[in-house]
Structure 1
């Protein structure tokens, strides 16, 4: 019984963290779209890759190439560039192809002379890896680009986590989403909240969409779950420290992101669904033969 209570309480609080994380993710994506954060991060990644500190040289020329310009509306930068497109555009800037579409090794080496020295060294190493084959060089440039974009994605993810933490902290204070208070409510004896959240969590994970559910579904889930959040009364002076700790725990939890909490919730719901092995039915006590009477 106690183990079942712990599991159900864990499902309840994970479900709450998931819902809050989904709201924070939606707000973060809206801010990122308004500020064009992904496009800026990509541009910074390419700037680091081409080792162009000014962004006025080869980075600008690359973004002006027709292959790159076709990836976004006019007067805006793309938020994603395929590695093959990057390789073709860069090679075309270094050594434009002839009328028949071919590009010789001699043309390429002549064009590389005009590159900044750091970029020239990098491409010389890539050309050596490609065994001085132009077609293989395209593949090497793609690998180089993908590795650079992995690093840029790491930068973006770290920045996003900090943004999600501060967004989460703001939201949990505004809505008083206190993990300590929620935990107490979930661990209460015969808690109707615990049973309600478990059922809501089971329905939520069963629906399609995973951690990318529409915000309308998230809002509906929050409105029907009767969550123990919000400001119902002014806390007493000696309660503020515990409340602040609860806010901090919630903010740190939601900074882990919705995919983390969705996967964890799915595992816990599956564990609960698998259930315990049925207990063996008690056997009736063995009959003890009555003692024989003396002389019998």
Structure 2
């Protein structure tokens, strides 16, 4: 009896794992196709280095609909233009005179600090479109690029901080705090910049995951309804498969009631008559286990011929699919499936490993 429940648990977990992988794959495809992760990073860098495009605004959208509907298609792409050339060997100092700016109380000249940072990171970029595809900057790389900018300024860190304050870059306050905290020690300053940037990336990742979880939820709902995946019904199908296997095992072991048990198990499915041997139906039943039938009720189903010579056939099940969708009896199973997919593929893979005893490979 315990093995029956273990088989049921493994079957459900495997089904949730496959659907979760499909959700993750679609989400990753959307993110890569639209470059959302890269745009999200450079929107943060624009805010931190140059400030928002207009006073009181931010490059990073504040609403979920803006992140996935506005940020990917906005004319104002926050990413710098891709440059296939290596980083310039000589860093030009910032063309701004802080004393003149402060004395005249004039607006600071526009300095594209994001572009200047990108020039020091071009080596880790990949040629993908007209804009940069960099979606991750290691803290050590960021601090190294920043120190290259420092080396170009007369006065070192103090000179760079003065110019950043003159152009009202938000980065000035962050670096001033790190510089004072390092007690004006260059080694401690670099380590402090790395720690600060690493913390900012963790905070940005948390914000990004907060946005993405709504996309995952939307995809989970859409796929559950598209495949009409009723977890409760699927569990019953798994139990019926266990009954089929038990009946066949009874026959193989020579049990007297094996044939009768198999006939009873397959009666509804194969319409076996009382005097007809059920063996001809066993092969067909076991060639379509519950895992194969998980997508049978989808709006578009795929059938692979048994001969293997002809190609797969696609069938539109719009009528049957809609009938299941509006049936209130299936919705408890739909809700269970939707909730299960929110845990993600990594969660269900870990559960499957625990149930099956699989251990991760260690080299």
TM-score by length of 1: 0.68
Q: Identify unmatched segments of 5+ residues in structure 1.
A: 99-103, 195-221, 272-296
* Alpha-carbon separation, structure 1, partners of 2:24 and 2:242: 33
* Alpha-carbon separation, structure 1, partners of 2:245 and 2:341: 21
Instruction: Give the Å deviation of 1:12.
Output: 0.8
* Alpha-carbon separation, structure 2, partners of 1:237 and 1:227: 15
User: 2:214 — aligned with what?
Assistant: 162
Instruction: Give the Å deviation of 1:147.
Output: 0.8
Aligned to 1:132, the other structure's residue is in SS state coil
2:338 pairs with 1:251: yes
* Alpha-carbon separation, structure 1, partners of 2:341 and 2:325: 26
Residues 53-97 of structure 1: CA deviation (Å, up to 9, x unaligned): 23685553345423246423263221111212211223333x334
Q: Which runs of 4+ in 1 moved over 6 A?
A: 235-239
After superposition, the Cα gap between the structure-2 partners of 1:191 and 1:60, relative to the gap in structure 1 and judged at 3 Å, is farther
Instruction: Give the Å deviation of 1:170.
Output: 1.3
User: 2:12 — aligned with what?
Assistant: 13
User: 2:294 — aligned with what?
Assistant: 228
User: 2:35 — aligned with what?
Assistant: 36
* Alpha-carbon separation, structure 2, partners of 1:166 and 1:65: 38
* Alpha-carbon separation, structure 2, partners of 1:193 and 1:109: 77
2:152 pairs with 1:86: no
- Structure 1 or 2: larger helix share? 1
Aligned to 1:96, the other structure's residue is in SS state helix
Residues 258-291 of structure 1: CA deviation (Å, up to 9, x unaligned): 11110111011129xxxxxxxxxxxxxxxxxxxx
What does 1:7-156 correspond to in 2, within 5 Å?
Answer: 7-50=6-49, 52-54=51-53, 60-68=114-122, 70-73=124-127, 75-77=130-132, 78-93=134-149, 95-97=150-152, 106-115=155-164, 116=168, 118-156=170-208
Instruction: Give the Å deviation of 1:238.
Output: 11
After superposition, the Cα gap between the structure-2 partners of 1:237 and 1:71, relative to the gap in structure 1 and judged at 3 Å, is closer
* Alpha-carbon separation, structure 2, partners of 1:108 and 1:267: 53
Residues 141-162 of structure 1: CA deviation (Å, up to 9, x unaligned): 1111111111111122222222
Aligned to 2:37, the other structure's residue is in SS state helix
Bigger RCO of structures 1 and 2 (CA < 8 A, at least 6 apart)? 1
* Alpha-carbon separation, structure 2, partners of 1:235 and 1:81: 47
Supply the RMSD in Å over aligned alpha carbons: 3.2
